[in-house]
Amino acid sequence: MITSVNCTEFLNTPVPCIDVRAPIEFEGSSIIAAHNVPLLNNENRKAIGICYKQKGKEAAIAMGYELINPISHTFIDSMHAITESKTVKIYCARGGLRSHKMAEYLANNGYDVLLLRGGYKAYRNYVLKRIECFKNILILSGNTGCNKTGLLEALLQKGEQVLNLEGLANHKGSAFGGLGEKVQPSNAQFSNLIFEALRTFNPDQRLWVESESITIGRIAIPLELWTNMQMANGIEIVLPLEERINFIVNTYGQFDLNALAEAIQKLRKRLGAEATTTLCEMTLNNQLHGVVRQLLQYYDKGYEASRLKKNCQNYVKFNMNTTNADTNCQILLQHLQIR
């Protein structure tokens, strides 16, 4: 049996999700936790696209059937490798021929199939609209080294709604942000990951988000979220310089010194050639406290310039004495309870 459903029902039905698009489409972005069982490989998809342009829709459809029929017997084996369930949900790019063809084949072989109406395009629209709903945002800001990520994790443990953008982006947002991280997702997949993180959250309740530039590494925060972040109130953590230096050294001192020096090289245009060379030499000599102290002069100036551009009159400053996330979390939550 084949049932066509909307995005809400499709996503809320807990059965294996099958993406029948070509691998190149799937690798670009996909519904989270979907499995790729392509109806056409990348080369065949390209050939059909050329046929469509040169000979029209009917010729392209005919070519598609010619390419699919010889390999259709492999689809059941692919499904068995993914799941023993006889109920699955399927989508293609726009909910067209590819997903319908796969659904028909599986239905003829005893499967119950949920078909996503509108396909991946409908899902993407659904994702961005859902992200846009979150307007009750509280921005957590502070100079580099305030352990904002740890504080967000502590808030999450206390039952607060928290969106860890840097964690989803696999990047900490600075020249050093890619150290120890996995490859970053595409922009589209980043917004899919954000949507997945927000799925169980209530838009009417506050959502903690760390202050970020619009780009984190090489990917961008979706405008639907960025616009709401720009209008949000915030909390600014202020810590003594020495606390921040010690925290940064403890955090980044675990990395290879050559990798740290390479990261400093990325700042050459802003720091100048002489300062960059000096800092790299100090890094290779393991003089990390001195390096961090000098780099924070650069980062703090950048933070201040960014702060002045934002709606920071609505930020409340908190002078903390420690980078301990649990301690700072308790202070923030107590303040919010008595407001």
Mean of the per-residue pLDDT values for the chain?
90
Residue 201 identity: F
Judge if 100 and 245 occupy the same domain.
no
Judge if 96 and 140 occupy the same domain.
no
pLDDT for 46 beyond 90: no
- The boundaries of the domain holding residue 216 are 133-338
- Average pLDDT value for residue range 7-26: 96
Edge-to-edge strand ranges of the sheet holding 17-19 = 2-5, 112-116, 87-91, 17-19, 35-36
Where does the pLDDT of residue 72 fall: very low under 50, low under 70, confident under 90, or very high at 90 and above? low
At residue 312, the pLDDT reads 53
- Give the CATH number for residue 38: 3.40.250.10
Judge if 80 and 200 occupy the same domain.
no
Judge if 137 and 192 occupy the same domain.
yes
At residue 26, the pLDDT reads 96
Output 306 or 263, whichever has higher pLDDT.
263
Q: Are strands 137-142 and 112-116 parallel, antiparallel or unpaired?
A: unpaired
Where does the pLDDT of residue 69 fall: very low under 50, low under 70, confident under 90, or very high at 90 and above? low
Query: Is the CB of residue 214 less than 8 Å from the CB of residue 247?
Result: no
Domain final position from 75, 104, 128: 128
Residue 213 identity: S
Judge if 220 and 291 occupy the same domain.
yes
Judge if 47 and 83 occupy the same domain.
yes
Domain final position from 128, 146, 163: 128
Give how many domains the chain has, as a whole number: 2
pLDDT tens digits along 167-180 = 999 999 888 889 98
At residue 65, the pLDDT reads 58
pLDDT tens digits along 291-321 = 999 999 988 887 777 766 665 557 889 999 9
Judge if 224 and 290 occupy the same domain.
yes
As a whole number of angstroms, the distance between CA 306 and CA 300 comes to 10
As a whole number of angstroms, the distance between CA 119 and CA 94 comes to 4
Judge if 84 and 200 occupy the same domain.
no
pLDDT for 106 beyond 80: yes
Where does the pLDDT of residue 224 fall: very low under 50, low under 70, confident under 90, or very high at 90 and above? very high
pLDDT for 71 beyond 70: no
Judge if 325 and 212 occupy the same domain.
yes
Judge if 173 and 301 occupy the same domain.
yes
At residue 97, the pLDDT reads 85
Judge if 94 and 181 occupy the same domain.
no
Output 275 or 313, whichever has higher pLDDT.
275
At residue 190, the pLDDT reads 98
Residue 308 burial by CB count (10 A; 0-12/13-18/19+): exposed, middle or buried?
Answer: exposed
At residue 259, the pLDDT reads 95
Domain final position from 128, 157, 182: 128
- Average pLDDT value for residue range 190-210: 97
At residue 101, the pLDDT reads 87
Q: Are strands 17-19 and 87-91 parallel, antiparallel or unpaired?
A: parallel
- Give the CATH number for residue 238: 3.40.50
pLDDT for 10 beyond 70: yes
Judge if 203 and 273 occupy the same domain.
yes
pLDDT for 110 beyond 60: yes
Output 68 or 245, whichever has higher pLDDT.
245
Catalytic residues: 92
